[in-house]
Amino acid sequence: MLRRPAALLALPLVLAVPAVAVASGNNQVELSATPQPVEVVPLPCFPSGKLTLGMTNTGRKPTIADLRISADPALTLSRHQFSSYLPIDQLVKAPLEITVPRGTAPATHTVNLSVDKQQLKIPVIVKPVPARDNLLLGEQAVASSTNGNMRLCGGVDGNADSAQWGASGWHDNTKGVFPDTYGVDFVQPATVGRVVLQTLDSARYPAAVMGIRDFDVQVRVGDQWKPVGQVRGNETGRVTVTFTPVAVDAVQLVIHDSNDHGYSRIVEIEAYGA
């Protein structure tokens, strides 16, 4: 029986890893944020208040940096820290979403970024709520479920471009299980007489293959949901349902099937008075 030399058995395992230096005087981190100033509208799903944060290591060694993020009390931030490994002279980016509660008065506030002694202050302008023909734009969306890769607000953020559906759209989280629901609860009653659905319909994912096929439009008056439209066998991207205008507390789609029998995919849903 052959025996291995003891020296060989005692050899330590050595892993090759990149050298990393903790931020210090020899490692400078340059901060950036775009756009500046950033504008916010006091609606829960309005498409504003989006910043791209950046850190660039201008030092002599790679480093790990912790970006601290704080703001005036009026602002709500999607994150309060951004930590990353920073190679030399490479910009590393991360998103930041800023929202304010409904009813927040127009004013200018500040988001503060800091890494060690480096600081950057970002002005945030709270704008008045604009006049909107689309009654659902920016309002709080409500859904039966939302896929973890999507945003609940994606179906009411004003972006009806199917090519950007992955970043600005919605689908449910129950593959092959129907019905699914998606809609908006109004803060106060609104008169609605037309609902428009933009389902997924791009060159890569046409509506006839991936779009919503069968759905009902419902409105809530008081505690009662009432059907006001029905669509079956749809294979187009944009579908309009009109009905006698009525003052309602909420609007929703009840989706019974999609053309691939998988998910309910909404790019945008809109509602108008007539």
pLDDT score at 57: 95
pLDDT score at 27: 61
pLDDT score at 80: 98
How far from 90 is each of 36, 57, 60, 93, 156, CA to CA, in Å? Answer: 21, 7, 12, 10, 35
Angle at 84 between CA 80 and CA 88, to 5 degrees: 135
> Is 18 a residue whose pLDDT tops 80?
no
Average pLDDT over residues 223-249: 97
The tens digit of pLDDT for each residue in 243-256 reads: 999 999 999 999 99
**Mean pLDDT over all residues of the chain?**
91
pLDDT score at 224: 96
Average pLDDT over residues 199-227: 97
> Is 19 a residue whose pLDDT tops 50?
no
pLDDT score at 252: 98
Name 151's Cβ contacts closer than 8 Å, sequence gap at least 6.
157, 168, 170
Contact 253, 220 (CB under 8 A): no
Structure tokens at 216: 């009902």
The tens digit of pLDDT for each residue in 42-59 reads: 999 998 899 999 999 999
Average pLDDT over residues 224-230: 97
pLDDT score at 274: 85
Q: What is the DSSP string of the chain?
A: -----HHHHTPPP-------EES-TT--EEEEEESSSEEE-SSTT-S--EEEEEEEE-SSS-EEEEEEEEE-TT-EES-SEEEEEE-BT-EEEEEEEEE--TTPPSEEEEEEEEETTEEEEEEEEEPPPPP-SSTTTTSPEEES---TTS-GGGGGSS---GGGTTTS-EE-S-TT---EEEEEEEEEEEEEEEEEEEE---SSS-HHHHSEEEEEEEEEETTEEEEEEEE-S--SSEEEEEEEEEEEEEEEEEEEEETTSS--EEEEEEEE--
Assign 87 a pLDDT band (cuts: 50, 70, 90): very high
Percent of the chain predicted with pLDDT > 90: 87
Structure tokens at 162: 């199917």
Assign 117 a pLDDT band (cuts: 50, 70, 90): confident
Average pLDDT over residues 218-237: 97
The tens digit of pLDDT for each residue in 180-211 reads: 999 999 999 999 999 999 999 999 999 999 99
pTM: 0.81
